[in-house]
Amino acid sequence: MPELNSEKKALLGILAGALLILSLLSPDSFLTVGTFQGMAFQLPELGLLSMAMMVAMLTGGINLSIISTANISAISAALILSRFVNPDVPASGDAGYLFLALVAAVLVAAFVGLFNGFLIAILDIPPILATLGSMKLLQGLAFIVTKGYVISGMPAGIVYIGNGSLAGIPFPLILLLVFAVLLSIYLKHTPAGFTTFLMGSNPIATRFSGVSNEKTIILTYLVSGLFSGAAGIVMMSRFNSAKAGYGESYLLVTVLACVLGGIKSEGGFGDVAGLMLSLVILQVLSSGLNLLGISSFLTLALWGAIMIAVMLMQFFFSRKQRIV
């Protein structure tokens, strides 16, 4: 069981308050099985992208290319599927092409992660600039490859990943929980995970302790890229299509989810449990506001206000600790 510290207790309190208020404001539409099922199907893609952002932030960096990595990975898989698989005609060779498409998506995501790591660790480009450049490069490539069109019509095996259920539980939610456990194990129980926190806390001390900062950064952005690729597969499956511009509004929300979940912007602190709690809070708020008919633009403004409020709270709390 994860440690229930003061930050997680606060998040649980916020979640309980949000559920109570939304239940009172919209009891007939919010307190339904359909609403919570919808949340369970929508949360995984944002969750995977947020974990991709989280690992980068733990080293004191950031990965602005997670959305474009997800899209280019999904497009790579979709191109193979659209070329070799007809979703309306079952064929014995489909399984092989499905596997090939998923492998292609993973390899593309891994390559982007390694490329980001190379720019940051070897060429010493600041993470925000390196990943911003990667984001624009990948966006341009995605539009060139697809010509701005949607690649649609995925086979049933792909559609199941983002829309199917297993024993009554949404399959993408199961995937999210599996990836969350894997990331938690990686961060807490492996030397690579330990050095990720160590570097975020003090990169100079990390170097003098005999750890290769360059290797840590490259591995971190590789992991970030792989989680982005997994999110791309889930998005392609849920939308039954791939496109260059999917999920662009998620970027702000992933940073917000990390900050709200206790991941410090300077790195070195945070865990998966806090991130998962913040994701549930944001999903509940998003779904509740949508049911209340609140404008999506007002919702975006709310996300920004929440992020500023959390950062201010962290600033004053750390300042108070220094004074004490």
**pLDDT value at 323 more than 80:** no
Residue range 90-119: average pLDDT? 88
Mean pLDDT (whole number) for 91-106: 82
User: In this prediction, what percent of the chain has a pLDDT beyond 90?
Assistant: 48
pLDDT tens-place string over residues 2-13: 556 677 788 888
Higher-confidence position of 44 and 294:
44
Higher-pLDDT residue of 321 and 284 is 284
Decide: 198 and 205 in contact? Cβ < 8 Å. yes
Residue 1 confidence class, pLDDT cut points 50, 70, 90: very low
pLDDT of residue 89: 59
Rounded mean pLDDT of the chain? 87
The per-residue pLDDT for range 206-242, each reduced to its tens digit, is 787 888 889 999 999 999 999 999 999 999 999 999 9
Mean pLDDT of 18-23: 86
Q: What is the pLDDT of residues 252-307, one digit of tens each?
A: 899 999 998 889 888 888 899 999 999 999 988 888 888 888 877 787 788 778 77
pLDDT score of 92: 46
Position 268 scores a pLDDT of: 83
Confidence of residue 322 (pLDDT cuts 50, 70, 90): low
Share of the chain above pLDDT 70, in %: 93
Phi, psi (rounded to 5 degrees) for 49: -65, -35
HSE-up of residue 214 (Cα within 13 Å, Cβ side): 8
CA-CA-CA-CA torsion for 198, 216, 218, 126, nearest 10 degrees? 40
Percent helix, percent strand, percent coil in the chain, to nearest 5:
75, 0, 20
For the segment 17-34, the average pLDDT, to the nearest whole number, is 83
Q: Where does the pLDDT of residue 42 fall: very low under 50, low under 70, confident under 90, or very high at 90 and above?
A: confident
CA-to-CA dists, residue 323 to 62, 222, 262, 314, 316, angstroms: 29, 39, 21, 14, 10
18 close to 285: Cβ distance less than 8 angstroms = yes
pLDDT in tens, 161-212: 989 888 888 999 999 999 999 999 999 999 999 999 988 888 888 787 888 8
The reply to whether the predicted model has a pTM over 0.85 is yes
